Amino acid sequence: MTAAITQQPHSGEPWLDDLAQEQDEYFHSGATQPYPFRLDQLRRLKAAIAANEDRILEALRTDLRKPAFEAFIAEVGFLYAEINHTIKHLDGWMKPRRVGTPLQLMPSRSAIYSEPRGRVLIIGTWNYPFQLIMAPRVGAIAAGNVAVLKPSELAPATASVLSDLIGKTFPRKYVAVVEGGVQTSQALLARRWDYIFFTGGGHVGRAVARAAAEHLTPITLELGGKSPCIVEGDADLDLAARRIVWGKFLNAGQTCVAPDYLLVHRSVRDQLLRRMADRIRTVYGDDPAASPDYARIITERHFDRLAGLLPGANIVTGGRMNRADRYIEPTIVEGVALDHPAMADEIFGPILPVFAYDSLDEALHIIRQRPNPLALYLFTRSRSTEEKVIRTVPFGGGCINDTMMHLSNPDLPFGGRGGSGMGAYHGRHSFDTFSHHKSVVRSAGWLDPKLRYQPYAGKLSLIKRFFR
């Protein structure tokens, strides 16, 4: 039976009941829990991705005009690395973890067991439409769960390849892909799950949280936010220009951890902006629309939203647009106020507002006026500046003297805080996200002091000695 489901909820919901029952029965059979099974599924997933690699890259090209190099490193190659890391470490992750036992519980042993959550729902988004739904799936496999995957309808070519790949590799009782739009998502969220993992915007994230609350379902929300990039006066400006341009305009700026606005020390502002403009021309040419290495905006609706951010801004470089092609040139702007629409919400496109500051405290004040960012980037040669920013600004994760590369280390948790999300994943952290950690105290029976039992008369002063 295929794992791909395209039936729409408005035609009735019995199919969802049937799917839930199939997956519940399969999960409770215990088939997904043994280590050899999990390992085999990870290897099958990797083999299926490899066999469909060209189709995946072509689908990403169709949906986002994503260059093959970017599509590989940020989607397919990223998944290979995630799967390889998980295969290497899974046996150790699954073992019960011994922890200490306090004196009052002796003679006993304490351990934490990781058990799968059960039936999980993973909802992906459109900007990295393959990776952002499959990377959580790696964690769900590793932890021993069954799953339903809901890809974004805004990237239909990728959703179709994903559905076909999963359907031909796994039975739907183990993992099913459900395609559809908003009504499909609503129908899925109306049901009980053992865990929900959502990647997307804050508005929809709140709706997911409300739906999960109806069933007291635990969730991970991977959202976004306005991720700042600070360039101090002592920074290596050539390095900063290369890495900011790369991180900002990768995937035409449609990356949740892309630098969303630039805070640059006034003493180096002009030098940095010249270097960045030169760098854009170097990597994309005089006409980025003709570059094979530059992606497109996902839909005309998102194009219109981005185009509406430019009025009132002074364009440093870029600014050319073509709605029919969903093309917006890599654009750097100045002269926008902190209450300008470009600073209200995450830009999620190839527009970078720039603000000059005179002291680091001024830059940090601007950041703290906004919700906690998903990422933060700092370019400096000063270790004391690094420590000050890391310790005083709440953010999900980030880089010193680079952008976005913290995502590529599977030993680092990736996730936001507050408005930029809750929960984390990648590597061991994905395994933990999709696991319940069961605490167990194993007590010996050969010693059973009467001190803890009733009657309590005369025992309080003695018991206090164990706690003081």
Catalytic residues: 222, 256
Q: Which two tokens stand for residue 329?
A: 């040139």
Helix (H) or strand (E) run with residue 57 in it: helix 53-64
Listed in sequence order, the residues at least 6 apart from 183 whose beta carbon sits closer than 8 Å to its beta carbon are: 8, 9, 10
**What is the number of helices (H) and of strands (E) in the chain?**
16, 19
3-state helix vs strand vs coil in the chain, percent to 5: 45, 20, 35
Helix (H) or strand (E) run with residue 316 in it: strand 314-317
| Packed helices 77-94 and 35-51: angle between N→C axes, nearest 10 degrees | 170
The residue to which tokens 């799967």 are assigned: 83
Eight-class DSSP state of 4: E
CA distance linking residue 5 with residue 164, whole number of Å: 10
The residue to which tokens 């998980």 are assigned: 86
Dihedral class, residue 225 (left if φ above 0, else alpha if ψ from -120 to 50, else beta): left
Listed in sequence order, the residues at least 6 apart from 459 whose beta carbon sits closer than 8 Å to its beta carbon are: 451
